[in-house]
Amino acid sequence: MKKATWILIAAATLALGIVTGNFYAGLETGNRMKSPFGRTEENKITEVVQIIDKLYVDSISIDSIAEAVIPTILSQLDPHSAYIPAADLQVTNDELSGSFGGIGVQFNIQNDTVYVVDVISGGPSELAGLLAGDRIVSVDGLTFVGKTLNNERVMKTLRGERGTKITVGIVRRNTPKILSFTVTRGDIPVKSIDVACMIAPNIGFISVNKFGITTYQEFLNGIAKVRSEGASKLIIDLRGNAGGYLDAAINMLNEFLQEGDLMVYIKGNHYARTDSYANGTGSCQTIPLVVLIDEFSGSASEIFAGAIQDNDRGQIVGRRSFGKGLVQHQVTLKDSSAVRITVARYYTPSGRCIQKPYERGRLSEYDADLWQRYLHGEFYSQDSIRQNDTTVYKTVGGRTVYGGGGIMPDIFVPRDSSGITHYFSELVNAGIIYQFALRYTEQNRARLKACNSWQALESYLESQQLFDLVAAEGAKKNVIGTMEQKRKSRTFIERQLYAYIIRNIFNDEGFFPFLNQNDVTVQRAVELLGGTKQ
């Protein structure tokens, strides 16, 4: 889930490893490295490999040595240069490509079985007859259940070349036998925009989860949608957005800035300074704007927020961003693997480099940065933020801003920890709330779908006393809280549960508006734009 898992994760649930090496901007694919080491006869690495190949006592695969050595070499450079094995490259590129070949389902692994959470409307699985709530138990005649199932294996199995066929065995509720469906893989879109909707009178809300190939066009469609619904002010939510293609961020920025406004510049040892300026054709140059960021907003998200801030074009609300100011270039190798190499740093219009400090050879400390921010209290108190760069930079209007470790918001909004208890964290970590929501949806899908809006579904769920059922489910798995913990966390638990169920029925079009009702950062943005809750 986006929004740094909106559930306001406690210390025990902070999965900070996801930020390691996941942020990149300005990628180009399809380029081949002609000579990775220059003159091979003078390169020590090549020389050692040749000696091993000719003299080593046992037979050994040089390719296997390279697979082990290349990541080690790249890890000595910076936190974001990385090696991508050939087997992983397609999935990695698919994330930003805008589409991939697949069967068109959203799934979750529950009790060692692939559970179909949703079937994409008009997609291959819907055309073949699959339904939300189905469980996939076999693929092409082979059993597809058990402890070895994980998200990576499922995606590699279900995805494939467009036009190819796959036969899945399905267990369906109230159907005694296993059903068989043959699905022809098709083009499955990868959405960059979670939702574009009205959040208050005159205020549109657009949530952007990544910067991919289709992001700009999706964004224009979102702008057109909310404007047609009366939006004259806008909130852009980049929380949890790890970044992506630089061009997508620049194209989006161009919609908001005036001709000649500097958006970003890039330079490196082998990369001449390149400046990007707005061309004055943007459709939203005067619309009041607020941009939301948090500690998981990185790379292209920081470029966007930094340019808006430095040009005094809008207000930045939330918490300090991740601090990834390095630009990568992707080079495809002969065996179809790739290296993603850092070629430059990017700078915001005021001259800030957003990259947080790192020390070569000690990247574990870099990886632990967000954890240290959490322990230091930065997520809950602005006074706890430690700036790595005390250099004073000035916006176009003369305001002071700082660099050296992420974008500092103009208005700080702490995480809402009011309902976080050990009991809540245990329920989340054990997946009890999520799994209960799946089962409840499956068992009551017809009744839930009878609600004609997410608001109607919310009202219905509030009448069902689901908290006690979740608590009972937790007790079965030895998750037992005190009366005080349950009292304190009840609203948080119910909010998360309702959100999952609403998403199962209304997808993101219901999920995000429901969350936004009680999202303190969103509501602060609404207040800044002069709006009130709907």
Which pLDDT value is given to residue 40?
Answer: 42
10 Å CB burial of residue 177 (0-12, 13-18, 19+) is exposed
Q: Which residues contact 469 (CB under 8 A, 6 or more apart)?
A: 436, 440
Q: pLDDT, tens digit, for every residue of 108-133? A: 888 889 999 888 888 899 999 999 88
Phi, psi for 48 (deg, rounded to 5): -65, -45
Helix (H) / strand (E) element for 420: namely: none
Q: Which residues face 394 on adjacent strands?
A: 400
Whether the pLDDT of residue 26 is over 60: the answer is: no
CA distance 427 to 70: 40
The reported pLDDT for the residue numbered 532 is: 65
Q: What is the mean pLDDT of residues 60-67?
A: 84
With 50 as the cut, is the pLDDT of residue 194 above it? yes
Segment 507-512 mean pLDDT: 92
Domain ranges of the chain: 99-189, 193-415, 418-524
Phi-psi category of residue 530: left, alpha or beta, with phi > 0 → left and psi -120 to 50 → alpha: left
Spatial separation of the C-alpha atoms in residues 373 and 14, rounded to whole Å? 12
Q: What is 346-394 written as a DSSP string? A: EE-TTS-B-PPP--TT-HHHHHTHHHHHHHHTTTT-GGG---S----EE
pLDDT digit string (tens) for 210-262? 999 999 999 999 999 999 999 999 999 999 999 999 999 999 999 999 999 99
Both tokens assigned to 348: 């915001």
312 is catalytic: no
Amino acid occupying residue 367: D
Higher pLDDT, 49 or 421: 421
Structure-block tokens of residue 107: 């799934």
Q: What band does 3 get if pLDDT is binned at 50, 70 and 90?
A: very low
Instruction: Give 173 or 310, the one with higher predicted confidence.
Output: 310
Question: Quick check: 94 pLDDT over 60?
Answer: yes
Task: Establish whether 310 is a catalytic residue.
Answer: yes
Which is the catalytic residue, given 94, 134, 310, 369?
310
Residue of 299, 301, 321, 350 marked active site: 299
Active site residue 324: yes
**84: helix, strand or coil:** strand
State the Cα–Cα distance between residues 315 and 399, nearest whole angstrom.
12
- Average pLDDT of the segment spanning 310-334: 94
State the fold for domain 193-415: 2-enoyl-CoA Hydratase; Chain A, domain 1 (3.90.226)
More confident residue, 22 or 500: 500
Q: What is the mean pLDDT of residues 35-48?
A: 60
Average pLDDT of span 149-164: 90
Query: Is the Cβ–Cβ distance between 334 and 30 less than 8 Å?
Result: no
Classify domain 99-189 by CATH architecture. Answer: Roll (2.30)
Sign of torsion over alpha carbons 36, 41, 47, 50: positive
Instruction: Report which secondary-structure segment, H or E, holds 294.
Output: none
The secondary structure element, H or E, covering residue 256 is none
- Cβ atoms of 313 and 256 within 8 Å: the answer is yes
| Cα–Cα distance, 278 to 460 (Å, whole number) | 48
Q: What is the largest CA-CA distance in the chain?
A: 76
On the question of pLDDT at 1 being above 60, the answer is no
In the predicted structure, residue 10 carries a pLDDT above the cut 80? no
Question: Looking at residue 533, what is its pLDDT?
Answer: 54
pLDDT of 281 over the 60 cut: yes
Q: Which of 3, 324, 356, 486 is catalytic?
A: 324
SS3 state at 73: helix
Say if residue 13's pLDDT is above 50: no
Please report the pLDDT score of residue 363 as a whole number.
Answer: 65
Tens of pLDDT, residues 175-189: 889 999 999 999 888
Q: What average pLDDT does the structure give for the chain? A: 87
SS3 state of residue 141: coil
User: What is the pLDDT averaged over residues 81-85?
Assistant: 90
Q: Are 502 and 195 in contact (CB under 8 A)?
A: no
Q: pLDDT tens digit string along 436-447?
A: 998 899 899 999
Residue 14 has pLDDT above 70, yes or no: no
391 burial via Cβ count (<10 Å: 0-12, 13-18, 19+): exposed
Query: What is the predicted pLDDT for the residue at 23?
Result: 31
Q: In this predicted model, what pLDDT tens digit does every residue of 355-386 receive, in sequence order? A: 988 877 666 677 788 888 888 888 888 878 87
